[in-house]
Structure 1
């Protein structure tokens, strides 16, 4: 099922396309889809002839973020989720939920997210994990975890400091407000705007293919190193803060109130 919902075209390159393929749910992400995305990223990182990767969603939406069924089920699985948050696999820095967004930094070629429709929560964090983001002016983007009484915890400590000032980052994280693509571009979350982001992403990928692959890979590595921060500490802080929130009374009330369309009653 996960392979059907995360589809890969041209995995051996030169330009691979990774598609979220759950259009009836606006490409809302399940745990299987997140795991599949990590596996895809790891596989693409090994492809010798790959020159670029495009991330996109079918049906006119990038991704609505985590499936709400996962959010509803958090209360009953809080202990399991906290264990996974605080214990990354194979002794790495990124946990199961961070890897689908951070894995793209391990792919040596440029990764381009083509954003249209909704790009919320986990979907936006995955897009932020790409090297470049091309969005429609009317796309809708949000760091939406605050709506559910949570924080963004999919590698945003690695990506957001490179894009936004601290005050803007706080405002978007705390309010969970929805931005139009044009405002997201003005703030720096989006690299460029296009009425046809997928076509624009493909054109950019082809242009990159005309450059020396060695220079392109070296350029990505150089910029990543220039902007490198305390990645391990940041990912750990995300996990610790999120673990404290998941299943807490106010977080459970936040989800219930949102799903029941009523004001929350916090303790």
Structure 2
């Protein structure tokens, strides 16, 4: 597994240009690593996973630069969301605005007890513009997402778990995310990629089309060496050794 860590605690790990560029480069790089199954996304400092956009930086941008930056931000978010790897967000402290949108791009999310999540953009004269209005409703339902987005309400760990924004809450979110990643890494790399594709590409299709899509993803695993290794390991009662082949 890889660990990608946002390292700008003096700015509450806000999404300024250097952070966005660094995350884009990391997401591009890990996608090419055949042996990597899982990525943990976390950050340094104890105050914020990511406090959202770097408003000090944004304040000095003319409109054309704002549009350019938002385009780059969305490109980075989409690269993570569409990654062939499984991404796990390890969340703590402030996870607001673009920070929550970043977390929503991960496949699984683990938070500690002091996490605070929200999309406050409407109170700042804008709206969530890096996927929040699309990913949050798909995750927790339209009515609940509307309430959070239209009121700008912030929620803590217990409510986030109840609503399904996070998968787990733990005192040590990084350790818990690492344990979860270890479970994910027991799967075959190609199988994990195709299972993720099957879910994300088929969940909003009608059942018949969704089942066809699932079959197309399944067919990718049939000619792989990992499938044969899984059968051998099962017969020999030993852990499989998958190589992503």
Matched, 1:78 2:58: no
Cα distance in structure 2, aligned partners of 1:39 and 1:227 = 29
The question of whether the paired residues in 1 share the 8 Å contact of 2:14 and 2:50 is answered with yes
Normalising by structure 1, what TM-score? 0.71
Q: Which residue of 1 aligns with 2:3?
A: 17
- Taking a change above 3 Å as real, the CA distance of residues 113 and 143 of structure 1, as seen in their structure-2 partners, is same
Cα distance in structure 1, aligned partners of 2:68 and 2:34 = 35
Write the deviation string for residues 183-232 of structure 1: whole angstroms up to 9, x where unpaired: 11111211121111110111111111122223222211111112358xxx
Give runs of ≥4 in structure 1 deviating > 4 Å: none
Q: 3-state DSSP class of the match of 1:97?
A: helix
**CA root-mean-square deviation:** 1.8
Q: Which residue of 2 aligns with 1:129?
A: 105
Write the deviation string for residues 109-133 of structure 1: whole angstroms up to 9, x where unpaired: 2100000111111111010000011
Any gaps of 5 or more consecutive residues in structure 1?
1-14, 86-94, 230-267
Q: 3-state DSSP class of the match of 2:45?
A: helix
Task: Considering Cα pairs closer than 8 Å and 6+ residues apart, tell me whether 1 or 2 has the greater RCO.
Answer: 1
Matched, 1:52 2:38: yes
The question of whether the paired residues in 2 share the 8 Å contact of 1:41 and 1:103 is answered with yes
The question of whether the paired residues in 1 share the 8 Å contact of 2:38 and 2:184 is answered with yes
Normalising by structure 2, what TM-score? 0.77
Correspondent of 1:110 among 80, 86, 108: 86
Deviation at 1:64, TM superposition (A): 0.8
Q: How many correspondences in the alignment?
A: 204
Structure of greater Rg:
2
- Taking a change above 3 Å as real, the CA distance of residues 83 and 111 of structure 1, as seen in their structure-2 partners, is closer
Deviation at 1:84, TM superposition (A): 6.0
